[in-house]
Structure 1
Amino acid sequence: MMKTTDSTPPRTARLADWLWAVAQDLRQRTPSRERDDAVLDAMRRQFDARQKADKAGRWRWALAGPALCASVLVACVWLLGSAPPGESGATVMGNPGSGFIVLVSADRWAAYEKAGASTAWLVPTEVPRERLALLGLPYDPADAAAPVRAELLVHASGDVLAMRVMP
């Protein structure tokens, strides 16, 4: 139990005195002017070096966007150029007026062409309108199940070589 007549000062008063003494000591220990200037110069050099490094990094990223666009453009041109002629909507025997869309590869078309035209027949038929989308032709999804009149160029072996959509 603590007596009220205790002569020791409270603990908070001793801590405040100690902090005041330390603050006074710190005020007396200020660094010299040369040391302050040296620290500021070192900080400026470090800041300049960081700014130069950041600028170099920004240029790399600034060139990344156009390089990526150019790469995508080259890839698209390459992909478009590498499509087989028989599957890219080319017309039969190079006659654009015929309206036929080649359905076989260029190699198979050349083999059938060597065999002669007498080995193929023109067969009228109806195909679902949704098949036009598979050939890359425009169609309306509202009437996808409606039939479309077409003519098929069929080889004697039964292979469908080409198709022409009739009006």
Structure 2
Amino acid sequence: MMKTTDTPSSRTARLADWLWAAGQDLRRQSPPPGRDDAAIAAMQARFAQRQATERRMRLRWSLVGPGLCASVLVACVWLVNLAPPDRDGTTLSRGSDFIVLVSADRWAAYEKAGAGTAWLVPTEVPRERLALLGLPYDPATAAEPVHAELLVHASGDVLAMRVMP
């Protein structure tokens, strides 16, 4: 509380005395010398522990990207190796470049009979026929022939066709 007889200069002097006394008291109460070293060692141990945890997390997340890419690649290869039937039942023969032109039953019968019952015949096919097989087709070049090979059964049935480059 402020007395009525206090002047601003006496209040300032009294405050300075209190601050000086508090500073002297703090200097006398300095912590033991080992406490600073213990505090620094504890901070360094906690920092090293946090760094190790962050390193494990970074390693874990760094493996997610390549793992995801590898699984997508495996799925794509698996899907490409499937031979989906076309709208009219034609399929792409697995392991070859032939486009199967007969039903699945007829193709299975040919495969069961063996390759000796068919011939490979080179020919030229109008480019417009590629659109009927679901292959890319450019109307500007419709008149140009395409080199192809036909797999013809002994009965005369065309079993499959392969477009040559």
Please tell me the TM-score bracket, short chain as reference: 0.3 to 0.5
TM-score by length of 2: 0.47
Higher helix share: 1
TM-score (normalised: structure 1): 0.46
